[in-house]
Amino acid sequence: MAVLSLFRRYSQQAFNQTSRAAMSSPTLTLNDGNTIPWLGFGTGTALYGKDAENAVRTAIDNGVIHLDGAQVYRNEESLGAAIAASGKPRSSLYITTKLEKVPAGQTVHDTLVVSLKKLQVDYVDLFLIHFPINHEQPLSTLWKQVEDVQKEGLARSIGVSNFRVKDFEAILPEATVIPAVNQIEYHPYVFKADQPVIEYMKAKNILPTSFGGLSPIVRFKGGPVDPVLTSIAERLSKTVGKTVTEGQVLQLWLKTKGIPAITTTSKAERIHEYLAVQSLPNLTAEDVAAIEEAGSTVHHRQFAKFFDD
C-alpha cells in the first residue's frame, strides 16, 4: 500500500504541475525560449539505414512538422530530399539531427556542416549529442563544441540524448549553455528506472523527449500495462464517440506529462491517429497513476541498454 500511495502521490503532483497550456498546445517551450512541437516523426528504428523519403513525405503531407533525424540513422540524405520535395517554407518545419561521433581530425562543426548539406537546410532547430559513450574526447569538451555551433547559428537549440545523471554531471560544471532537451527511451516499462534522470532534469529545467513511447504495445505486448491501456481506451472511446486506441492512450500519457513524443510510421492513417491525440480528453491523475504502477512492476528497455548500468 505504501508503494501504491507513493506512485499515486507522485502522479498527482506531476498531473497538477503540468500546465494546461502545455497539454492543449501543440508545442512546448524550452529553457532557451524556443518551442518544440509535441509530436515528432522519427527516421530511426524502422527506417534506420533505409530511404526515408516517402515516409517523411507522408508525414509532412499529413500535417507533421517536427522531423527527427540523426547521423547514425544513415538516411539524412533522404530526409533532406523529403524536406525539399515538400515545398514547405523552412520556417514551417522543425528539424532535429544528432551527432554520432567526431572523426579524427574533425570537429563537431565539421560533422554538422555535412549533415546540413544532406538535409538541404542552413540550420537545424535542434542538435543533440546522440550518445554519451564511445567518444574519443571528454563529454565536456564535446559539449563546448556543440555550444559553438549554436553560437554560429547552425543550430537554434542544443541538447543531448540518452544521457544519465552522471553524464550531465560530466558536462554541466563547465557548460555555459544548459542542454534544452534530453531525448531518452521513455514509456511505462522504463518509467521507474528513468525517474532519477527525470527528476534531475526537472531540477535543471531540461525537457525530456521520448522515443520508443509505443514500446508496450509494439515490442512488449502482453505485459501488465496492456489491460490498463485497454480499460482507459474503452472509457475514452465512449466519451468521445469514436475509437481511441491503446497507442493513443500511451501518447496521452506522455502529453499529460508534458513530454514530446517521437514516433514513426509509413501509413497516413497512423499519422492521423497520432495527430488526433491533440483533440482527445486529457488523462486523469488516476489514469496516469494506474499506467505507471502497472509499468513499474516490470522493466523492459529496448534501446541504449547501457542506460541501466
User: For the segment 256-291, what is each residue's pLDDT rounded down to a tens digit?
Assistant: 999 999 999 989 999 999 999 999 999 999 999 999
Q: Is 109 annotated as a binding residue?
A: no
The pLDDT assigned to 9 comes to: 43
The pLDDT assigned to 268 comes to: 94
pLDDT digits (tens, 9 = 90+) for 13-36: 443 333 333 333 489 999 999 999
pLDDT band at 104 (very low <50, low <70, confident <90, very high): very high
pLDDT at 116 over 90: yes
- Please provide residue 278's backbone torsions phi and psi, each rounded to the nearest 5 degrees: -60, -30
The pLDDT assigned to 283 comes to: 98
Average pLDDT over residues 35-56: 95
56 and 82 in contact (C-beta within 8 Å)? yes
The catalytic position among 10, 73, 123, 274 is: 73
Amino acid identity for residue 136 in this structure: E
Q: What residues contact residue 127 under an 8 Å CB cut-off, 6+ apart?
A: 96, 97, 98, 99, 112, 146, 149, 150, 154, 155, 157, 158, 159
Q: Is 64 in a helix, a strand, or coil?
A: coil
pLDDT at 43 over 80: yes
73 annotated active-site: yes
Cell numbers at residue 173, please? 560544471
Helix ranges (H only) for 96-209 are: 108-119, 139-151, 165-171, 191-204
Structural domains of the chain, with CATH = 2-299 (3.20.20.100)
Range scoring the smallest mean pLDDT among 17-26, 62-71, 152-161, 252-261: 17-26
